[in-house]
Amino acid sequence: MALKETLWHWLEEVADHTRIEWSELALIQAERNDEVKAGEWSAAARLKCDKCGEEQLLKHPDVVTACGKCGEQAFHRKEFK
């Protein structure tokens, strides 16, 4: 019983810590004028390609990939709806 409780406690701590880190990432990205580049981690967001305007939707934190339409590496964050 004690092992099971310890495991759940550890999982709660990890989950809470991860949630805080993703919130901090979102704040850092907002301070950077909403610019995001391919290869960087991003919080959930709608990203608009700087070259062709194609949008990329990240429903959860993930690594940004190059634009699927033109291959551009730079994006700007748009309002997440």
Q: Which domain holds residue 20?
A: 2-78
Residues of the chain with pLDDT under 50: 1
Q: In this predicted structure, what is the pLDDT of residue 67?
A: 97
Structural domains counted in the chain: 1
| Other beta carbons less than 10 A from residue 75's beta carbon | 27
SS3 60: coil
Q: Characterize 10-43 residue by residue with b for buried, 16 or more Cβ atoms within 10 angstroms of its Cβ, and e for exposed.
A: eeeeeeeeeeeeeeeebeebeeeeeebebeeebb
